[in-house]
Amino acid sequence: AQSVAQPEDQVNVAEGNPLTVKCTYSVSGNPYLFWYVQYPNRGLQFLLKYITGDNLVKGSYGFEAEFNKSQTSFHLKKPSALVSDSALYFCAVRDRGQAGTALIFGKGTTLSVSS
Amino acid sequence: DAMVIQNPRYQVTQFGKPVTLSCSQTLNHNVMYWYQQKSSQAPKLLFHYYDKDFNNEADTPDNFQSRRPNTSFCFLDIRSPGLGDAAMYLCATSYRSGARDEQFFGPGTRLTVL
C-alpha cells in the first residue's frame, strides 16, 4: 500500500534561515511526488512535483525539493524562509505503476516562521 | 484568471438535513475530485469524475453522492449529514487523470452540522 510520512507536526524557523520540511514515502513501484501548501481556511496550492529526471525539483515561491530514491525521501527546502511561508504543508504520492487517481497525502507539517 | 470556485465557503446544516455543495471550474479540465478534510488531518478523496465517468473510492460512505451535469460544474450531495461529516470539503480538478498531473484545488467549503 502507498503511504506518506511527515515525521514532524511542526517546524519552527527564524526568518532568513533555511528551512526543511521532511517527507518519506512508501510505494510498490516508482513514485510521482508532490508538495502542496495550505493557508488557513483555504484550499491546497500546488508547489512542485517530481516526475522523472533531475532529483532536485524547483517550484513556486522559491521552494525546492530533493528526491532521494535510496532513502525514499522527498524533503521540501527553501534557502531563506519568509514569515509569509508560515502555513500547512502536505507531501503527496502516487504510484505511477497503479491505476487510479487518488493522491495519498501525508498528515501535514505546520511551518511557523518567526520574524 | 482560470480557477476552481466553491460555493458556499461556509455551510451550516442540521443533523439529517440534506445539503449540497457546489464546485465550478474555468480551467476546462476533464477530471473533478471531491476531498474531505477533517480538522488537523490530510485530505481524503471521496470520488472523482473523469468526464462523465464517476469513480467512487471504496470506503466512501453511501451518504455521499455526486453529480456532474457538465464539464464546468460538480456537486457534492450529503443525503443525511451526521455530526461526523463536519469537515472542510475540497474540490479539485486536473486536466487528465494521469498520475503525473497535479491537481488544482478550490478554497473549500467548511461544513458545520448542528
Torsion of the alpha carbons at B110, B56, B48 and A53, rounded to the nearest 10 = 110
Cβ separation A101–B33 shorter than 8 A: yes
What are φ and ψ of residue B65, in 5° steps?
Answer: -135, 165
* Type of residue at A88: L
Number of domains in chain A: 1
> Which residues is B20 bridged to in the sheet?
B77
Structural domain span for residue A80? 3-114
Which stretches of chain B score pLDDT less than 70? 1-2, 97-100
**Top-confidence residue, A37 or A51:** A37
Cβ separation A95–B6 shorter than 8 A: no
Mean pLDDT, range A1-18, rounded to an integer: 94
What's the pLDDT score for residue B32? Answer: 92
Cβ separation A108–B42 shorter than 8 A: yes
Find, among B87, B101, B64, B21, the residue nearest to A102 by Cα: B101
Q: What pLDDT band is residue A96 in, cutting at 50, 70 and 90?
A: low
Domains of chain B by range and CATH?
A: 4-95 (2.60.40.10)
Cβ separation B105–A36 shorter than 8 A: yes
Cβ separation A34–B57 shorter than 8 A: no
Cβ separation B33–A34 shorter than 8 A: no
Q: Which residue of A has its CA nearest to B108?
A: A43
Chain B residues lying within 8 Å of A94, measured CB to CB: 99-100
Dist. CA A105–CA A36, nearest whole Å: 9
Distances (CA, A) of A102 to A12, B2, B43: 30, 23, 10
Grid cell listed for A113: 516562521
Cβ separation B107–A107 shorter than 8 A: no
Chain B residues lying within 8 Å of A96, measured CB to CB: 99-100
Dist. CA A67–CA A33, nearest whole Å: 8
Cβ separation B106–A105 shorter than 8 A: no
> Is B42 an interface residue toward A (CB < 8 Å)?
yes
Chain B residues lying within 8 Å of A101, measured CB to CB: 31, 33, 45, 48, 50, 55, 94, 97, 99
Q: Is the pLDDT score of A99 beyond 60?
A: no
What's the pLDDT score for residue A52? Answer: 84
Chain A nearest CA to B9, separation (Å): 9
What's the pLDDT score for residue B39? Answer: 87
Find, among B25, B41, B39, the residue nearest to B103 by Cα: B25
**Top-confidence residue, A103 or A89:** A89
**Following DSSP, what letter does each residue of B28-90 receive, concatenated?**
--SEEEEEEE-TTS--EEEEEEETTEEEE-TT--TTEEEE-SSSSEEEEEESS--GGG-EEEE
Distances (CA, A) of B110 to A105, B8, B22, B102: 19, 8, 12, 23
Mean pLDDT, range A45-73, rounded to an integer: 93
CATH of the domain at A109: 2.60.40.10
Q: Which residue has the cell 498531473?
A: B101
Q: Which residue of A has its CA nearest to B87?
A: A41
**Which residue, among A27, A32, A101, would best test binding to B if mutated, counting the most B CBs under 10 Å from its CB?**
A101
Q: What pLDDT band is residue A115 in, cutting at 50, 70 and 90?
A: very high
